[in-house]
Amino acid sequence: MPVENLEFKTEINQLLNLMIHSLYSHKEIFLRELLSNASDAIDKARYESLVNSEALTDTGDWKIKITADKDAGTLTISDNGIGMTKEEVITELGTIAHSGTLDFMRALKEKGDMNLIGQFGVGFYSSFMVADKVTVITKSVKDGTSVKWESEAKGTFTVDDAEKQTRGTDVVLHIKDDDKKYLNHWEVSSIVKKYSDYIEYPIAMDVEREEDSALDKGKKVKLVKEETLNSQKAIWLKDKSEITEEQYNEFYKHVSHDFADPLSVIHFKAEGTSEFTALVYIPSQVPLDIFYEQFKIGPVLYVKRVQIMDHCEELVPRYLRFIKGVVDSSDLPLNVSREMLQNNPHVSVINKNLTKKVLDTLADLKQKDFEKYKKFYAELGKVLKEGVHFDFQRREAIADLLLFHSTKTGKEAFTTLDEYVRTMREGQEEIFYITGSSYEEALQSPHLEKFNDKGYEVLFMLDEIDDIIFGYFEYKGKKMKSVIKGSFDLDKKDETKKAEEGQRYEKLLAQIKDRLKDDIKEVRLSGRLKQSPCCLVSDEGAIDPAMERMLRSMGKEVPKNLRILEINPGHPLIETLSTVIEKDSHSADDSIDLLYEQALVLDGNKPKDPAVFARKISDLMLEALRRSA
């Protein structure tokens, strides 16, 4: 075929520009990423040889070979793995198939956070940090064709036919003059030991050594021998006493493509009805793409040390999708498919054991090292709390792991549901909470006024999904109740006083209802306000306003949800407004409009018509100033 000249996608050009011109620290991770890719390619070929022996008969010895040519200035990483077809070369090396690309690019530019490279599956492009040209020659197991890909990272790449005798992929880096150290054996060996020691296939390199001559005693001769640079030991099969913290951390970085150390290590072996070994990690920082649909869930699945799947989502519940690591089963068949996994009893046992271990580890961390746990919760608490909604069996155990600000904690401290229930006021039957977009917004909400006055603690729920998770949740027999929904009567007024207030404001309520009939569902006297004149509340079971705003911002259609306007019968403004209406029912229309607009603003919304709202405020200010002039 003729040489094809193709252009990179826009995001690849941006990424390459960052790689070449902006990111200088930790350049050596280019080798970690290429070796990881090579290992993955061999994993796929090895699996194919076991389940489809007709497609791949010549397995030989699986190996990754590093070749440094100082004269040519090239470093080549070769594998005898699955290889790529022409279509795969164009797709895999020309695009980033990821919905979070823009977020990724922004974070990479702002933070220079190199661990993001591996997490987003674009580790190949880190090659251009040390190479001014990259050549890829690959032969695919699928169709037996050989393809050459080449680029100088200047916006384009070429694809051509190639001659390659053996399957697999050679990645040839034409090393920049400033980075020639990566052609030295000692430098390469050091990087392999640091990042890739636990790759289970030999990473080999030809090394020149001086040895005693066999023919001329006392004379030294230079010999070139192939040496294996990595230990190839499956760390998860070792005894925990044999593994150092540094070794655990480096394996985590290998399996997760994270650059930071993990928060916690969970390493155990299960025996009995189902035998498996697990080495999984709780990360110390949230993966940038964890809230995207394409985020890959689950540890690597091995069966008797043969890698079966990169990410086995059946092994962990979705709310623990941040878990990284490996699970090695002795009971599953080598040709297990995703369909088989869904109903396999051994998988259910692994999932149950793994979930319990992770939750127990977090509970132990929360009890013994609360400062460390707070760091975890700040990063991943939003993901963990999903389990309250989705895992009915463990929802209370998960709820015990959650942390909350409240009206009594201050911004720097936290409380828990267990502490809340233990310190509830006598006779209190519900756990009160308020939703909001920030601590400050929740703290200033008028809905809290009477709760604060009467000494009731209210939890702050600051994530958009919180009302869905906790709206129907019951903890230790106590239902959770939003203070911005339904009605409250915290004053415990006698029926006579309530009747008197209702009669006193009957005309005001009717006038407000008529004036705002298109905007509100109902108007009533409030049992939750003390300082503010009014607020908007929702019916029990209605969609939370924060969730409603989020859905609309995402372009979702949300049915119109009329709110209830509550007015404070003890506020001077309400008392005065009632008096005015008693004299002239139509003279207070503008004031009723402003009252509603004020409630909208207090609720975090814009006025119905900002221009009209501003004009009415100006008129009121002008009138007040004229009176005092």
Please tell me the distance from the alpha carbon of residue 285 to that of residue 264, in angstroms, as a whole number: 11
Q: Which domains does the chain have, with CATH numbers?
A: 4-228 (3.30.565.10), 235-368 (3.30.230.80), 381-482 (3.40.50.11260), 495-539+558-628 (1.20.120.790)
For residue range 335-344, what is the model confidence (pLDDT) as tens digits? 677 777 878 8
Distances (CA, A) of 225 to 205, 209, 210, 527: 8, 8, 11, 85
Q: Please give the sequence-ordered ranges of beta strands (E in DSSP) within 229-366, or none if there are none.
A: 264-270, 276-282, 300-303, 306-309, 324-329
The HSE-up count of residue 17 (CA atoms within 13 Å, CB side) is 11
Asked if residue 1 lies in contact with residue 147, where contact means CB atoms within 8 angstroms, the answer is: no
Q: What are phi and psi of 420, to 5 degrees?
A: -60, -50
Asked if residue 129 lies in contact with residue 117, where contact means CB atoms within 8 angstroms, the answer is: no
pLDDT, position 58: 63
Q: How confident is the model at residue 120 (pLDDT cuts 50, 70, 90)?
A: very low
**CB proximity list for 120: less than 8 A, separation 6 or greater:** 96, 98, 100, 101, 104, 288, 289
Q: How confident is the model at residue 107 (pLDDT cuts 50, 70, 90)?
A: low
For residue range 175-190, what is the model confidence (pLDDT) as tens digits? 999 999 999 999 999 9
Asked if residue 362 lies in contact with residue 350, where contact means CB atoms within 8 angstroms, the answer is: no
Q: What is the average pLDDT value for the chain, to the nearest integer?
A: 86
pLDDT, position 57: 60
pLDDT, position 98: 43
Please tell me the distance from the alpha carbon of residue 84 to that of residue 82, in angstroms, as a whole number: 7
For residue range 282-332, what is the model confidence (pLDDT) as tens digits? 999 988 778 877 788 999 998 877 778 888 999 999 999 999 999 999 888
Using a cut of 0.95, tell me whether the model's pTM lies above it.
no
Q: How confident is the model at residue 108 (pLDDT cuts 50, 70, 90)?
A: low
Could you tell me where the DSSP H helices lie in 317-444? Answer: 338-342, 345-368, 370-384, 386-390, 395-399, 417-422, 439-443
Q: How many CB atoms lie within 10 A of CB 409?
A: 17
Residue whose C-alpha is closest to residue 8's, from 101, 118, 83: 101
Q: How many CB atoms lie within 10 A of CB 519?
A: 16
Q: Which of 41-55, 389-403, 420-434, 559-573 bottoms out in mean pLDDT, i.e. has the lowest?
A: 41-55
DSSP β-bridge partners for residue 537: 564
